[in-house]
Amino acid sequence: MPDLTNPVKAIRAKCLDCCCGQQNEVKLCPAKDCPCWPFRFGKNPYRQKRELTEEQRAAARERMQKLRLLQKPR
C-alpha cells in the first residue's frame, strides 16, 4: 500500500490507477495537460537538489557511523 500521506506518492498512486496499474503506461502518458503529469513518477520535479558543504558531509558521515555502531547486533 503506497504512503498516501505524502502528496507526491498519492499522485503516483493516482497515475497508476488511471493507467490500470501499468507502470509503462504511466511513463508513456500522453495527458501532458493533466496537473499530475509532472509528478507521475512519484518525485517532485521542482524540488532543488540539496548541495552539502564538505563540513556537512563529514558531520553526516560521523552521525551514520555512530548509528551503525548502535545498531550492530551483540
Residue 68 carries which side chain, given as an amino acid letter? R
How far is Cα 37 from Cα 45, in angstroms, rounded to an integer? 10
DSSP 8-state code for residue 38: G
On whether the pTM is more than 0.75, the answer is: no
pLDDT in tens, 13-56: 999 999 999 999 999 999 999 999 999 998 899 988 889 999 99
As a whole number of Å, the end-to-end CA separation of the chain is 33
- Residue 6 has a pLDDT of 86
Q: Is residue 2 predicted with pLDDT exceeding 70?
A: no
How far is Cα 30 from Cα 17, in angstroms, rounded to an integer? 15
Residue carrying C-alpha cell 493533466: 34
- Residue 24 has a pLDDT of 94
